[in-house]
Copies of this chain bind each other. A is one copy, B any other.
Amino acid sequence: MPEPDVLEVHRAMREIANQILKVSNVLDGKQVDDFIQALLKAKRVFVIGAGRSGLVAKAFAMRLMHLGIDTYVIGETITPALREGDLFIAVSGSGETNLTVRAAEIAKKIGSKIVAITSYPNSSLGKIADYLVVLPGRVKTESTTDFVHRELAGEYASLAPLGTMFEITALVFLDGIVANLMTKLGKKEEDLRARHATIE
């Protein structure tokens, strides 16, 4: 007889995997295309995000560095001045994360292009974005009742609390972008490994 604990873990993992599949099916081709083009023509890339969305942004930044793209994380030690021509990528499920939105506003004023990875195109972040990638997914500020993407949500408040679904689908989506950039840039896994941190 299988253990009840492992069954619940299994069920939560399956729920998340299904959400990734659903989101991958509703990606907007033009949004994805434009985002990839923006990445390819950016002089430098800066990423930002708060909490677990910030961890997702960092995971993406690390792979961009492996790909040889000049990338920085807002708030880390050696991040230089943002300038015109730089691409500023903000990850925020709600699109209303206070400091992330404020930073995007400053970036916009400086003249960099803004990418919003968010569930809400009409959020403060979504509205100032030059490039928008909408990933449907309940976010941590929603209660179950006001969830606008109900058909994708199910009853997962207890299986994937707060922003979990957005964070994971954002990570997986951005890793999909990495796969595409490898093709586009003609990079093999060995090329990435050669740039991977050696002290860890």
Tell me the dominant secondary structure on chain A's binding face: helix
Number of interface residues of A (CB under 8 A): 92
Decide: B140 and A196 in contact? CB cutoff 8 A.
Answer: yes
| Chain B hits for A50, CB < 8 A | 75, 197, 200
Docked-complex contact A8 and B180, CB < 8 angstroms: yes
Q: Decide if B65 touches A78 in the complex (CB within 8 Å).
A: yes
Give the chain B neighbours of A131 by CB distance below 8 A: none
Residues of chain B contacted by A46 (CB below 8 angstroms): 199
Assembly stoichiometry (copies) = 4
With a cutoff of 8 Å between Cβ atoms, the chain B residues found around residue A199 in the complex are 46, 48, 74, 82, 98-99, 103, 106-107
Per-residue CB proximity of A41-78 to B under 8 Å, as 1/0?
00000101011100100110111011000011111111
Contact of A9 among B78, B180, B197, B198 (CB under 8 A): B180
Contact with B along A28-45 (1 / 0, CB 8 A): 111011001000000000
- Confirm or deny: A146 has a beta carbon within 8 angstroms of a beta carbon on chain B: no
Beta-carbon contact of A3 and B30 below 8 Å? yes
Q: In the bound complex, do residue A32 and residue B59 qualify as a contact, i.e. CB atoms below 8 Å apart?
A: no
- Identify the 5 closest CB pairs spanning chains A and B, nearest first: A50-B200, A9-B176, A13-B24, A3-B29, A12-B179
